Structure 1
Amino acid sequence: MTSPPIQWYPGHIAKAERALQEQLKKVDVVLEVRDARIPLATRHPDVAQWISGKERVLILNRVDMIPQSVQQDWNKWFRSQNEVPYFTNAHQGQGISGVAQAARQVGAKINQRRSDRGMLPRPVRAVVIGFPNVGKSALINRLLKKRVVESARRAGVTRQLKWVRISDELDLLDAPGVLPSRLSDQEAALKLAFCDDIGQAAYDNQRVAAALVDRIKAVYHLSPNLFEQEPLSDRYPLELEPRTGEGFVADLADIRYQGDKERSANQILNDFRKGILGAIPLELPPAIE
């Protein structure tokens, strides 16, 4: 089966990018949030250029949706790349204290530099950036310990840039999710669609669900020790083998939905996105892959 084309809207993205880049001139530190299931696919290719010279804290959210062994592998891999990842589950508050401490440490360094130049300390200005629906607003609410920005497990909730006072030491900018205006790697685009991290995009649910099943099969065959049993088998009365993803969607439709493949596809996608299928990583560190 050919990879389904994932399409989105460059005009809308370009406007959001311009607004974000203008605000980035005013910030001291960037909190970059990625999806722990697909930490490479949710790396925006332009972030390094945008934040050149600024401090950055790397956050891998939704750590509850990958096995602990995979978290450990990603931790080793990122550290081998001279990056320190902070793993969080923003909806439950896991790992938030570590992020807050990292932000405070960066702030202390910045204000020490100001003091060395004879300047008074001020609240550090930080921005939270990442793809749509990776959990940026939930992270801010946890840092604040109260709900101040709208948060939901769907893309496109944050519509505009908004400054929030975290404490006397930290001001935080909540930014809408920003996608690359062009993404030629359709495999990466598919992963964004699997996880609903792609915002206002157009794609065929049936083809994406079939590709998701194929991806789960590939990860299972690559590293079956990550799973207590064959993935999907608990939730659906079907085995992965010998079916293709397309066949799996069709057979599930026949068994449960009177042949309605759209309902079958939506069931698979929703179950995966909500974590009902369990902890399933869609990317493994390059050394493992």
Structure 2
Amino acid sequence: MALTQNYKLNVIQWYPGHIAKAEKNLKEQLKRVDVVLEVRDARIPLATHHPQIDEWVGNKARVLIFNRVDMITPQMRDLWIDWSKRQGETAYFTNAQHGQGVVAVSKAAQAAGVELNQRRSSRGMLPRPVRAVVIGFPNVGKSALINRLLGKRVVESAARPGVTRQLRWVRISEQLELLDAPGVIPLKLEDQGAALKLAICDDIGEAAYDNQLVAAELVDILNYLQHIAPNLLPQKPLESRYELDSTPHTGEAYLHALAEHRYQGDVERAARQLLTDYRKGFFGTIPLEIPPDYQ
């Protein structure tokens, strides 16, 4: 992916002050938390793994959640389930918008807290609700998940990154309390390929990237995945949508060809359309990552 190498993010836009503040508050609150629910985007589970989360979680229980399962195929989901097992973790798959998989997440969070109350009981202390926190990048579906866990809409949820600004506790049940935290972005993303995938999936703030660069990278990724794992993607998704085959082109060349073909040479419009169509699922259920050890 040639574009990835020279891609530079504007750090000021990349790391707004409210996220810096949120991270500081989050670290404070984490001392009071028993269980961490880590939410990732099922299309890019590696890119949406926060590099500091292992350090934050320490020896607390963790529940790993891949949200937007509706945007990948069942076959892809099975590959990620197997991959997670090889990492020693159980992955839970949700479509938080529609409530799919949420009951299993709630049970997993409560089960992780059973041990806590057994310890309290052995010391002669009364049981208390398990305290869980939901952590993930902006716009991966954390607020939608919390609303589903609660069964009512208490947390503002929107399809734009950075809606949740404050940290707040919400009572899910007698057994479970949840801390809703703003999306946390690493101070610096060393892996520029991951940064581009976050931009493609709209999991970072819009001001942080160049649409044409990001759309060209999307085309490069789709061409690459069609080449190495054709059975995991719909056949020629861009050609099906735009009647223009992407495989002979680099991402950048395809963007210009598409602009000529459909948008009177307007490359920016072509880029925006490509990104919108991918995000809305108009190319089909397409992952941007496959497990690293996929054969």
Counterpart residue number, 2:24 = 18
Q: Secondary structure at the match of 2:178?
A: strand
Secondary structure, aligned partner of 2:237? coil
Question: In the TM superposition, what are the counterparts of 1:144-223 in structure 2 within 5 Å?
Answer: 144-199=150-205, 201-223=207-229
Q: Does structure 2 retain, via aligned residues, the 8 Å contact 1:90–1:138?
A: yes
- How far residue 94 of structure 1 moved from its aligned partner, in angstroms, is 1.0
Post-superposition CA distance 1:32-55 (Å, at most 9, x none):
001111111111111111121211
Post-superposition CA distance 1:238-261 (Å, at most 9, x none)? 111211111221122122221111
Instruction: Return the offset for 1:14.
Output: 2.4
Task: Give structure 1 stretches of 5+ with no counterpart.
Answer: none
Question: What fraction of aligned residue pairs are identical, expressed as a percent?
Answer: 62
Give the match for residue 3 of structure 2: 2
Q: Deviations over 1:136-169 (max 9, x none)?
A: 0000011111111111222111111121111111
Q: Is the 8 A contact 2:22 2:165 kept in 1?
A: no
User: What is the Cα deviation at residue 201 of structure 1?
Assistant: 4.7
Once the two structures are superposed, residues 220-254 of structure 1 have per-residue CA deviations (whole angstroms, 9 ceiling, x without a partner) of 11111123421222211211121111122112212
Tell me whether 1:64 sits opposite 2:64 in the alignment: no
SS at match of 2:240: coil
CA distance in 1, matches of 2:167, 2:280: 27
In the alignment, what sits opposite 1:129? 135
Q: Residue 74 of structure 1 aligns with which residue?
A: 80
Q: Distance in 1 between matches of 2:213 and 2:44?
A: 19
Q: Secondary structure at the match of 1:232?
A: helix
Which secondary structure does the structure 2 equivalent of 1:235 belong to?
Answer: helix
Deviation at 1:132, TM superposition (A): 0.6
- 2:48 maps to 1:42: yes
CA shift, 1:288, in A, is 1.3
Over the residues paired in the alignment, what is the CA RMSD in angstroms?
1.4
The amino acid across from 1:261 in the alignment is: V
Work out whether 1:95 is the aligned partner of 2:101: yes
Question: For the Cα contact (< 8 Å) 1:6–1:201, is it kept in 2?
Answer: no
Q: Distance in 2 between matches of 1:244 and 1:183?
A: 25
Secondary structure of the residue aligned to 1:141 is helix
Contact preservation (8 Å) 2:234, 2:284: no
Output the CA distance in 2 between the equivalents of 1:113 and 1:228: 51
Instruction: Provide the rounded CA distance (Å) in 1 between the counterparts of 2:213 and 2:150.
Output: 40
CA distance in 1, matches of 2:88, 2:173: 29
2:277 alignment partner AA: D
Q: What is the DSSP-based 3-state SS (H/G/I as helix, E as strand, rest coil) of the residue aligned with 2:275?
A: helix
Distance 1:180 1:114 in 2: 35
Residue 27 of structure 1, CA deviation: 1.0
Contact 1:177–1:199 at 8 Å: present in 2 too? no
Q: Structure 2 counterpart of 1:277, which letter?
A: F
Letter in 1 for 2:173: S
Corresponding residue SS for 1:276: coil
8 Å Cα contact 2:172-2:178 kept in structure 1: yes
TM-score, normalization by structure 2: 0.94
Q: Distance in 2 between matches of 1:232 and 1:48?
A: 37
Where structure 2 has 5 or more consecutive residues not aligned to the other structure, the ranges are none
TM superposition shift of 1:18: 0.4
Give the superposition deviation at 1:2.
3.1
